[in-house]
Amino acid sequence: MPDAIYSKIYNQIKISKNILLATHENPDGDGLSSICLMIEIIESLNQPYSAYCFDQPPRQFDFLPSVEKIISDKTKLNMDNFDLIIVLDCGSSDRTKISDEIKNRGKSQIVVEIDHHPKIEDYADMELRDPAASSTAEILYKFLKANKIKISKNIANCVLTGILTDTANFLYPSTSQETIQISSEMLSKGAKLPQIMENTLRNKSLNSMKIWGKAMSRLKINPKYNFAFTVLTLDDVNDNGETANEEELEGIAGFISNLHNVHGVMLLREQPDGIIKGSLRTSRHDVDVSRLAQAMGGGGHAKSSGFKIEGRLERAGDGWIIV
Ligand SMILES: [Mn+2]
Shortest CA distance to 70 belongs to which of 48, 58, 93, 53? 53
Closest by CA to 2, choosing from 186, 134, 130, is: 130
CA 90 / ligand 1 centre spacing (Å):
8
Write out the residue limits of the CATH 3.90.1640.10 domain(s) in the chain.
3-200
- Taking the C-alpha atoms of residue 266 and residue 271, their distance in angstroms, rounded to an integer, is 16
Asked whether residue 74 carries a pLDDT value surpassing 90, the answer given is: yes
Q: How far is the CA of 100 from the centre of ligand 1 (A)?
A: 22
Task: Over range 1-27, report the average pLDDT.
Answer: 94
**H or E element, residue 114:** strand 110-115
Gap from CA of 132 to ligand 1 centroid (Å)? 11
Q: What is the pLDDT of residue 171?
A: 86
Residue ranges of the chain that CATH labels 3.10.310.30: 206-322
Least confident of 61-75, 178-192, 230-244, 294-308: 230-244
> 129 pLDDT exceeds 70?
yes
311 CA from centroid of ligand 1 (Å): 28
Mean pLDDT for the stretch of residues 24-39: 96
Taking the centre of ligand 1 as the mean of its atom positions, its distance from the CA of residue 133, in whole angstroms, is 9
* Cα–ligand 1 centroid distance for 31 (angstroms): 6
The pLDDT confidence band at residue 300, using thresholds 50, 70 and 90, is: confident
How far apart are alpha carbons 262 and 290 in whole angstroms? 16
Topology adopted by domain 3-200: inorganic pyrophosphatase (n-terminal core) (3.90.1640)
Using the mean position of ligand 1's atoms as its centre, give its distance from the Cα of residue 91 in Å: 9
- Residue 287 in this model has a pLDDT that exceeds 80: yes
Considering the entire predicted model, what is its pTM? 0.85
CATH 3.10.310.30 fits 206-322, yes or no: yes
SS3 for 279? strand
Q: Which residue has the higher pLDDT, 245 or 86?
A: 86
Ligand 1 mean position to 316 CA, how many Å? Answer: 36
**246 CB contacts (<8 Å, ≥6 apart)?**
26, 55, 58
**CB of 191 within 8 A of CB of 153?**
yes
Q: What is the pLDDT of residue 242?
A: 67
Ligand 1 centroid to Cα of residue 30, in Å, is 5
Distance 241 CA to ligand 1 centre (A): 32
Model confidence pLDDT, tens digit, residues 250-285: 789 988 988 999 999 999 999 988 999 999 999 898
Task: State phi, psi for 151 to the nearest 5 degrees.
Answer: -90, 100
Say what the pLDDT of residue 275 is: 95
Mean pLDDT of the chain: 93
Q: How far apart are alpha carbons 39 and 45 in whole angstroms?
A: 10
- What value does the mean pLDDT take over residues 66-74? 97
pLDDT of 286: 94
249 contacts 269 by C-beta, under 8 angstroms: yes
Question: What's the 103 CA to ligand 1 centre distance in angstroms?
Answer: 22
Q: Is the pLDDT of residue 1 over 90?
A: no
Torsion of CA 253, 29, 80, 43, to 10 degrees: -170
CA 323 to centroid of ligand 1, rounded, Å: 32
For residue 209, report the distance from its CA to the centre of ligand 1, in Å: 25
pLDDT digit string (tens) for 195-227?
999 999 888 888 889 999 999 999 999 999 999
Ligand 1 centroid to 210 CA: how many Å? 27
Percent of the chain with pLDDT over 70: 98
Predicted pLDDT at 201: 87
Task: Please give the distance, rounded to the nearest whole angstrom, from the Cα atom of residue 300 to the centre of ligand 1.
Answer: 10
Residue 225 Cα, ligand 1 centroid: separation in angstroms?
28
Q: What's the CA-to-centroid distance between 318 and ligand 1, angstroms?
A: 36
CA of 252 to the centre of ligand 1 (A): 17
One-letter amino acid identity for 227? Answer: F
Three-state secondary structure call for residue 291: helix
Q: Give the Å distance between the CA of 162 and the centre of ligand 1.
A: 7
Q: How far is the centre of ligand 1, averaged over its atoms, from the C-alpha of 284 (Å)?
A: 20
H-helix or E-strand spanning residue 132: none
Range of lowest pLDDT (11-20, 51-60, 126-135, 233-242): 233-242
Is 246 a residue whose pLDDT tops 80? Answer: no
Strands 299-300 and 304-310: antiparallel
Distance of CA 44 to the CA centre of its chain: 25
Q: How far is the CA of 25 from the centre of ligand 1 (A)?
A: 12
267 closest CA partner among 281, 288, 247, 248: 281
User: What's the 2 CA to ligand 1 centre distance in angstroms?
Assistant: 21
Give the Cα separation of 140 and 186 in Å (integer).
13
Give the pLDDT of residue 239: 72
Q: What is the pLDDT of residue 240?
A: 63
- Give the model confidence (pLDDT) of 137-155 as tens digits: 999 999 999 999 999 999 9
pLDDT mean over 1-7: 86
Q: Where are the beta strands (DSSP E) in 2-57?
A: 19-22, 49-52
Q: What is the spatial distance between Cα 111 and Cα 113, in angstroms, rounded to a whole number? A: 7
